[in-house]
Structure 1
Amino acid sequence: MKLAKVRIVLVETTHPGNIGAAARAMRTMGLHRLYLVNPRRFPCAEATAMASGADELLVQAKVCTSLAQAIAGCQKVFGLSARSRNISWPVLNTRASGALVVQEALKGEVAIVFGRENSGLSNFELDHCNYWVHIPSNPTYSSLNLAAAVQVMAYEIRMASMTDDFRHSGESSSASIDEIEGFFSHLEQTLIKIDFLNSSNPKFLMRRLRRLFFRAHLNTPEINILRGILTAAQKKAQIPEAMMKK
């Protein structure tokens, strides 16, 4: 089933009622996999009451201690955000992202990440998302309840899943988020090793590099090639300069 590999991730939800209402929104659109990152209160009777019959989603919800744990094993990660950022992310509206979620779910696990009620997702958390999704709301009043945002996104995913336009491509599958995070860690270590990145004053370099490589939609063979290059660069950096001149 197209939606079986789609997980909804709620980060540090403050009000348990929003968790229950989000579960209800998910079930009405055929989504069943709920992940909670450090919820303030859960399980909670208020969440159960607001779920209004979607209790099963709350019982089966996975409670995680970090966003990394919640998105582990995912092919693609979509982060919802209403705020503008200093560094641009690949931005999609909900209609386009719904279609892309369904396409990617044919290949592997997909996570849709929603932030805190009062502040949304941090830049650090968006660093781990392949796409930034923006709900095109009224610019003069863009405040949207968490469960309402989940409903909008779930609706677009369901509508996209009901079309017959999605097929497996002949290309290699995109690299998983675990493979990509392994590459970024390797890249940062290498840049420090060759004195290109100052670990005590990194500024925005790694964030900009993340944006660059996310735009490339790397697959597993490409990740392996890049990591091979990084390994060779690290080995070269260990050779004394006098030896390199011989």
Structure 2
Amino acid sequence: MTSSDPKLLADIRVVLARTSHPGNIGAAARAMKTMGLSQLVLVDPAVFPNSQADAMASGAVDVLAGARVCPTLTEALADTTLALGVSARRRDIVAEVLNPAEAALRLLGEAQRAPVALVFGNETSGLSNEELSLCQGLVTIPANPDYSSLNLAAAVQVLSYEIRQAWLDRPSWPAPEIDAASGDEVEKFYGHLEAALADLEFLNPGSPGKLMLKLRRLFARTRLAKEEVNILRGILSAAQDAKRAARRSGTVGHNS
């Protein structure tokens, strides 16, 4: 039996969004390192770097030192092909709901080809609808329903443990089924889709929110491949070109 590939763990990042308390960042880094994870990304943390984070990290200050800080979750996930949000709520926003063991298998399988991410929200409010809309799935920890509140670092520890166990149990993994589009490619498609729907007068550009969230959920359910994104954007461009040509010729009609 061959040993498990350490590169798989190196391509799994833990993303902490809008963390309020620096001590939780340090404790999360410690939880990661105990399970062999090292890629920490912080999105708009309230305080970082900070001595309290260093103290709570204990021997994992190297994880903190290597942490990347991003202003937005979109930037943090730009090169990933799979992002799973960890939350006990908002199941209606993300199509696929996984338990920690299932999430670990999905992440390790996809990490063979490109970076993947586990996304944790703010300690008090969790992940927002907008943040969840950037994820392709939701992970829920089956905690006691009468008291399901988990500390951020504890949640990171649970998921990191499941990832390590799955990694140790399977030295090899089948290739991912699709050449999935990256987060940046998918976000550019959504931007193009919103602009095209506004051009076609199907979408009110002043309030695109609800429709675009539903469309994001639809496409997240299908897991877009790179080639599919290119095809869809080609269709959108053709529709926009036809609309512009109709406007120039004075034959445009209104279908909204």
What residue in structure 2 maps to residue 61 of structure 1?
67
Return the match for 2:144 from 138, 141, 151.
Answer: 138
Most deviating of 100-109 and 41-50 = 41-50
**Are 1:183 and 2:189 an aligned pair?**
yes
What residue in structure 1 maps to residue 44 of structure 2?
38
**Are 1:21 and 2:31 an aligned pair?**
no
What residue in structure 1 maps to residue 244 of structure 2?
238
TM-score, normalization by structure 1: 0.94
Separation of aligned partners in 2, 1:189 and 1:41:
36
Separation of aligned partners in 1, 2:209 and 2:107:
32
Instruction: Report percent identity of matched pairs.
Output: 51
Most deviating of 224-233 and 83-92 = 83-92
Separation of aligned partners in 2, 1:181 and 1:203:
15
User: Residues 58, 203 of structure 1: CA spacing in aligned structure 2 closer, same or farther, 3 A cutoff?
Assistant: closer
Return the match for 2:79 from 58, 73, 82.
Answer: 73
Instruction: State the 1:165 CA deviation.
Output: 5.1
User: Residues 77, 87 of structure 1: CA spacing in aligned structure 2 closer, same or farther, 3 A cutoff?
Assistant: closer
What residue in structure 2 maps to residue 10 of structure 1?
16
Q: Deviations over 1:145-166 (max 9, x none)?
A: 0000000111111112121351
What residue in structure 1 maps to residue 173 of structure 2?
166
- RMSD across aligned positions (CA): 1.7
- Letter aligned with residue 22 of structure 1: A
Most deviating of 58-67 and 22-31 = 58-67
What residue in structure 2 maps to residue 155 of structure 1?
161
User: Residues 88, 58 of structure 1: CA spacing in aligned structure 2 closer, same or farther, 3 A cutoff?
Assistant: closer
- Letter aligned with residue 214 of structure 1: A
What residue in structure 1 maps to residue 102 of structure 2?
96
User: Residues 172, 97 of structure 1: CA spacing in aligned structure 2 closer, same or farther, 3 A cutoff?
Assistant: closer
Unpaired runs of 5+ in structure 2? 1-6
Equivalent residues of 2:30, 2:57 under 8 A apart = yes
TM-score, normalization by structure 2: 0.90
- Letter aligned with residue 201 of structure 1: S
Runs of 4+ residues over 6 Å off in structure 1: none
Separation of aligned partners in 2, 1:159 and 1:214:
27
Unpaired runs of 5+ in structure 1? none
What residue in structure 1 maps to residue 215 of structure 2?
209
Instruction: State the 1:228 CA deviation.
Output: 0.5
